[in-house]
């Protein structure tokens, strides 16, 4: 109880300092936490049947899925792939249903403290209102974390998401928002979706390194650790640190993104 009161006091002080007494509804973000088996199933299929930069084997291992089953889902016709994915998810719920429900309650409690500061910092940094004022957050049985490039539904793992003290969910929401902000001003003819994804993965992790968040995830590891982004990250970080505005950062990043494609990565 004492820690909760201290956290609330610190957040109030930080928000007061950042807003200088001027509040704005543009900072408001709402989160809805849900459990959605069908979403888990659909994204298992999408993950294993797409050209994922992580690679099929790495993705399967990170999700705790036998790589042979992942290959079956990739290679089977869609009807059979759905059956295989549905069995994977059904097995997770059979084994972990109570833990998934408990995790949902934990996330709801945690984000009551975190949300006001998180929402304010993201809006202040991007200098734009949220593209979507509400996000639906799936507490997933199988996915580590999922963002959304063109909508407002994200996912976080019921175990790993909790162990990162909220940072994993924050990463997925921030990634989604900065992706859609860049896409508003720079169409596919300029930069493709994978290039914008690379920008968004890196930018979200840089924003979430803001010292104001350290009370929530002290000494947490870097979440955007794709090896194919390692060369691009310091270049974008330099532009971010030297930006005159967030739009300036976006625009100066585009030439770097045009010369980069994460799908061409060779270890």
Instruction: Give the pLDDT confidence of 177-213 residue by residue, as tens digits.
Output: 999 999 999 999 999 999 999 999 999 999 999 999 8
- Phi, psi of 56, deg, nearest 5: -60, -45
The pLDDT, as a whole number, for residue 146 is: 94
What average pLDDT does the segment 97-126 reach?
95
Q: How far apart are CA 78 and CA 73, in angstroms?
A: 8
Q: Where are the beta strands (DSSP E) in 84-163?
A: 134-140, 145-146, 153-157
R_g over Cα of the chain: 19
DSSP for 16-55, written as a single string: HHHHTT---GGG--EEEEE--HHHHHHHHHHHHTS--TT-
Name the pLDDT band for 2 (thresholds 50, 70, 90). Answer: very low
In sequence order, the 6+-apart residues with CB closer than 8 A to the CB of 149 are 176, 179, 180, 183, 193, 196, 197
Q: How far apart are CA 166 and CA 171, in angstroms?
A: 9
Q: How far apart are CA 46 and CA 44, in angstroms?
A: 6
What average pLDDT does the segment 209-225 reach?
80
């Amino acid at each position: 109880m004492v820690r909760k009161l201290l956290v609330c006091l610190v957040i109030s002080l930080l928000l007061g300092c950042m807003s200088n007494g001027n509040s704005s509804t543009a900072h408001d973000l709402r989160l809805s936490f849900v459990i959605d088996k069908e979403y888990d199933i659909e994204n298992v299929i999408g993950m294993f049947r797409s050209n994922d930069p992580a690679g099929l084997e790495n993705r399967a291992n990170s999700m705790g899925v036998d790589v042979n089953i992942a290959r079956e889902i990739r290679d089977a016709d869609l009807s059979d792939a759905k059956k295989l994915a549905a069995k994977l998810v059904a097995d997770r719920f059979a084994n972990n249903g109570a833990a998934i429900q408990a995790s949902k309650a934990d996330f709801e409690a945690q984000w009551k403290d975190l949300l006001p500061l998180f929402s304010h910092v993201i809006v202040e940094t991007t200098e734009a209102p949220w593209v979507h004022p509400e996000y639906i957050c799936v507490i997933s049985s199988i996915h580590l974390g999922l963002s959304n490039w063109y909508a407002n539904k994200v996912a976080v793992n019921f175990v790993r998401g909790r162990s990162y003290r909220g940072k994993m969910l924050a990463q997925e929401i921030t990634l989604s928002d900065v992706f859609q902000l860049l896409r508003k001003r720079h169409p596919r003819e300029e930069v493709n979706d994978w290039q914008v994804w690379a920008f968004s993965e890196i930018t979200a992790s840089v924003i979430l390194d803001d010292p104001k968040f350290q009370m929530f995830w002290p000494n947490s590891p870097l979440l955007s650790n794709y090896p194919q982004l390692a060369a691009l990250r310091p270049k974008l970080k330099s532009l971010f640190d030297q930006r005159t505005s967030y739009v300036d950062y976006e625009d100066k990043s585009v030439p770097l993104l045009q010369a980069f494609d994460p799908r061409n990565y060779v270890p």
